[in-house]
Amino acid sequence: MNLIFLGPPGAGKGTHATRLSQELGIPQISTGDMLRRAIREGTQLGLRAKGYMDAGELVPDEVVLQMVRERLQAPDCQGGYIFDGFPRTLAQAEALAAFTRIDAVLNLEVDDELILHRLTGRRVCPECSGTFHIDYLSDPQVCPTCGGRLAQRADDARDTILNRLSVYRRQTEPLIAFYRQKGLLRSVSGAGKVDDNYLAVKAALGVP
Ligand code: AP5
């Protein structure tokens, strides 16, 4: 099964893609995670991406497309995959259609106020890559999974989140109509509790 998880920043794409990828045994391909890794490792790609990401702007299409094309060559992608945060522009979606087949596009819907609450309260673990929200942490500095020291993403500052939302509306939201027209779109609310949302995601995708 080749899937795309679409939705504004903070909709829960990463949360649900991680869980479904473990359940189905197929990789989650998060272009955001791949770019953040490149920045940590100080590669050419990371150096090129950093300024865009810190400002909440999109990294140029050709950079992301090259990275995704290479990722799809890996043997673990042969049985299917979940794109998380890709494609994000019509140019990326059209290019993707030329080199792979997509079975379904899951679109998570969440309003802006909830997104701001989620992203300003998000904490990530640099050790195990876990993602959490301070509302559910007994200690907001310590990873409940591995004991690592939690951090805040550079682009989770309030003004940067507002810019990411406006970039989403301008450049990514048109993909909803694009995939609806192809008969691939499945929209669900991402506003409820995580477990309830996850059940709705699976039902929309026909996963038992
Ligand atoms: P990326 O890393 O993809 O970020 P994003 O799309 O902005 O999405 P997020 O990771 O912020 O949110 P999410 O929907 O995954 O939500 P999450 O599950 O974490 O991209 C970052 C940057 O990289 C971009 O701005 C761009 O510069 C660049 N980039 C990446 N891909 C690109 C591309 N294709 N083209 C060009 N540039 C690209 O959840 C958020 C929080 O809410 C968490 O704390 C979570 O615990 C909590 N939460 C989730 N669901 C629930 C729930 N139901 N109830 C309560 N809390 C919840």
Q: In this predicted model, what pLDDT tens digit does every residue of 85-99 receive, in sequence order?
A: 999 999 999 999 999
> 54: Cβ–Cβ under 8 A, 6 or more apart, which residues?
154, 155, 160
Question: What atom in ligand 1 is closest to the CA of residue 194?
Answer: 53
Calculate how far, in angstroms, residue 192's C-alpha sits from the geometric centre of ligand 1: 17
Q: How far apart are CA 40 and CA 147, in angstroms?
A: 21
Mean pLDDT computed over 147-156: 96
- Strand-pair partners of 124: 131, 151
**β-strand pairing of 81-84 with 28-30:** parallel
Q: How far apart are CA 73 and CA 99, in angstroms?
A: 11
Calculate how far, in angstroms, residue 206's C-alpha sits from the geometric centre of ligand 1: 24
> 204: Cβ–Cβ under 8 A, 6 or more apart, which residues?
106, 186, 187, 188
Query: What confidence category does residue 204 fall into, taking pLDDT thresholds of 50, 70 and 90?
Result: very high
Tokens matching residue 167: 């970039």
- Of the candidates 166, 158, 155, the residue with the CA atom closest to the CA atom of residue 120: 158
Q: In the annotation, is 101 catalytic? A: no
Q: Which amino acid is at 153?
A: R
Mean pLDDT computed over 134-140: 95
Q: In the annotation, is 164 catalytic? A: yes
Annotated catalytic residue, options 37, 50, 153, 180: 153
Calculate how far, in angstroms, residue 14's C-alpha sits from the geometric centre of ligand 1: 6
Residue with CA at minimum distance from ligand 1 atom 19: 14
Strands (DSSP E) found in 81-190: 81-84, 104-109, 122-124, 131-133, 185-189
% of residues, the chain, pLDDT over 90: 100
Annotated catalytic residue, options 88, 118, 123, 202: 88
pLDDT at 42: 97
Calculate how far, in angstroms, residue 10's C-alpha sits from the geometric centre of ligand 1: 5
Mean pLDDT computed over 26-36: 97
Query: What confidence category does residue 100 fall into, taking pLDDT thresholds of 50, 70 and 90?
Result: very high
Evaluate whether 134 touches 123 at the Cβ level (below 8 Å): yes
> Of 15, 62, 152, which is best to mutate to test ligand 1, by the most ligand atoms within 8 angstroms of its C-beta?
15
